[in-house]
Structures are given as structure tokens and as C-alpha cells.
Amino acid sequence: MVEVEAYSYGVSYIGKGPLFAYHWHPHRHRTQPHFHIKQGEGFLGMNKLHFPSGNVAIEAVVRFLIEEMAIPSARPDWQSVLDENQKRFEADRARN
């Protein structure tokens, strides 16, 4: 069993810098899972805001990148691999 104690998932665009990030660091000042919009510096300081997000599995982020941002998958069976691993993540989370 894998136990998630914290996470920091960031997505960057080559040459443009970070786009967005999901964070959960329960042992620091901001204990709830949250989301950052990294390209919003000039608009109301959006890059400094912590948007509530709930726990996010890395599989959900990878699925978003493939399906919504048209990032090519590294393998043809990506959907089944993500489905299986996300089921494990959700089952482990339900036990805790």
C-alpha cells in the first residue's frame, strides 16, 4: 500500500514557465489541498492565491494533460493504467 503524505504537482510549458500547480502539504502553514494559477501574476496576483481543490490524484492530472491539453501519451494503454491506479488511490483514501 502506498500512503500519500503530501504532494506538489506542477505543469510547465517549455519556454513559458509554470502554468498551474496542485499542492497539499498538511504539515505546513496551508494544510488544505489547493490549486495555483501560475500565469496570473499581472491579474490580481492570481499566482499567489490558493484555490481550494480537494485531494487530487496524479492520475487525474495526467488524464487532464492527455485529454484536455492534447499532450501525447507515452503508451497506448494509458487509459487502463490510469484507471487502475486511480481506483487504488481512491480505495486507499476511502480507508483513511
pLDDT of residue 23: 94
Whether 1 is in a domain gets the answer no
The domain tally of the chain equals 1
**pTM beyond cutoff 0.85:** no
pLDDT of residue 30: 86
Whether 2 is in a domain gets the answer no
Domain that holds residue 79: 7-95
**Tens place of pLDDT for every residue, the chain, 96 residues?**
667 789 999 998 888 888 899 999 998 888 999 999 887 666 677 778 889 998 899 999 999 999 999 999 999 999 999 999 999 878 876 665
The strand pair at 51-52 and 17-24 is best described as unpaired
What is the C-alpha separation between 77 and 80, in angstroms, rounded? 6
